[in-house]
Structure 1
Amino acid sequence: MKLRRPRRPRDFRPADSAQQIVGGFLLAGPFVVTEEVWTLAASMNLFQAVGTVIVVFGIGYGALYTADTTRDADDEREVAGIPLRFISLMIVSFGAVTVLALLLDAPDTFIRDAKSTREVAKTTFKAISVGSVFSVVGAATADSIFAKNG
């Protein structure tokens, strides 16, 4: 006798994005305003930042569809073959860090030796990639935990 694992409804609701936003902002906040993150970002090269972005995508996908065995990517609505829930998770993860960094004026506060706007933008991108590692964990966890209660 084969037991079927329970599945959540296919519908991806606005409440799901709201849950992701709460989790994403919750864990992103402390890292956006930490000088060490900005110092680390300034010392990273662009390949390391892109690698960090890839790690964020991997953590997000793994948390949504591998760690949570009640969810299956094939059962969800898709945009261009990518699950809508995953797209939302990535927007929230990177978006929460970006919004907080700009709202709290972190680039101007922590980037002192930049010689150009381009350098500020590059360091800000790298800091966002670092902060998103933590934001994606919070967003995916909130999505998974609250979805079980909804």
Structure 2
Amino acid sequence: MRRPRRPRFRPSDVAQQVVGGFLLAGPFVVTEEVWTLAATMARWQALATAGLVGLIGYGALYSADRDRDPEAELDVGGIPLRFVSLMVVAFGSVALLAVLFDAPDAFDAGWSVALRAICIGAVFSVVGAATADSVF
């Protein structure tokens, strides 16, 4: 089996994901329109949005970058560790900023709405995180 040209997943890759994820997460945490959308979303829409984050992330890591082979990477329960890290960063960066900025209270939202807003923000955060991981 041919080995991938890129080195395997390293801590520096996580750092790159974090920088990219936070870079694009910030503006969406503090935007009132995001919180208004989240307040009107149904559960299925939030779940579909979370699934979209996964599809975007997987596509950006493994379809857009042909040098990466998910089969050759370390995995967690059959899921590539790089992808797991990307999902943690995408959702985690938005959640952390929401808590640090006290966004749920600022926008008078409960935790159900906050979780939906996190899903919305993660759509953009995953793009930044995956791009930073792939480019650098």
Map of 1:109 onto structure 2: 106
Query: Partner letter of residue 40 of structure 1?
Result: L
Alpha-carbon displacement from aligned partner over 1:33-88 (angstroms, at most 9, x marks no partner): 00000000001011100000000000000000001111110111111111000000
Match of 2:119 in 1: 129
Mapped contact 1:5–1:70 kept (Cα < 8 A): no
Partner of 1:69: 66
List alignment gaps of at least 5 residues for structure 1.
Answer: 115-119
Say if 1:16 and 1:143, in contact at 8 Å, map to a contact too.
Answer: yes
Q: Aligned equivalents of 1:24 and 1:133: distance in 2?
A: 10
- The alpha-carbon deviation at position 13 of structure 1 amounts to 1.0
Identical columns (%)? 67
In the TM superposition, 1:1-150 aligns within 5 A as 7-10=5-8, 12-111=9-108, 120-146=110-136
Q: Which amino acid aligns with 2:132?
A: A
Max radius of gyration: which structure? 1
Number of matched pairs:
135
Q: Is the 8 A contact 1:64 1:140 kept in 2?
A: yes
Runs of 4+ with >4 A deviation: none
What is the TM-score of this pair, normalised by structure 1? 0.87
Unaligned runs of 5+ in 2: none
Contact 2:91 2:118 in 1 (8 A): yes
Amino acid at match of 1:144: S
When the two chains are superposed, the root-mean-square deviation of aligned CA atoms in Å is: 1.3
Q: Which amino acid aligns with 2:78?
A: G
Shift of 1:7: 2.0
Once residues 105 and 6 of structure 1 are traced to their aligned partners in structure 2, the CA distance between those partners, rounded to angstroms, is: 43
How far apart are the structure 1 equivalents of 2:85 and 2:16?
11
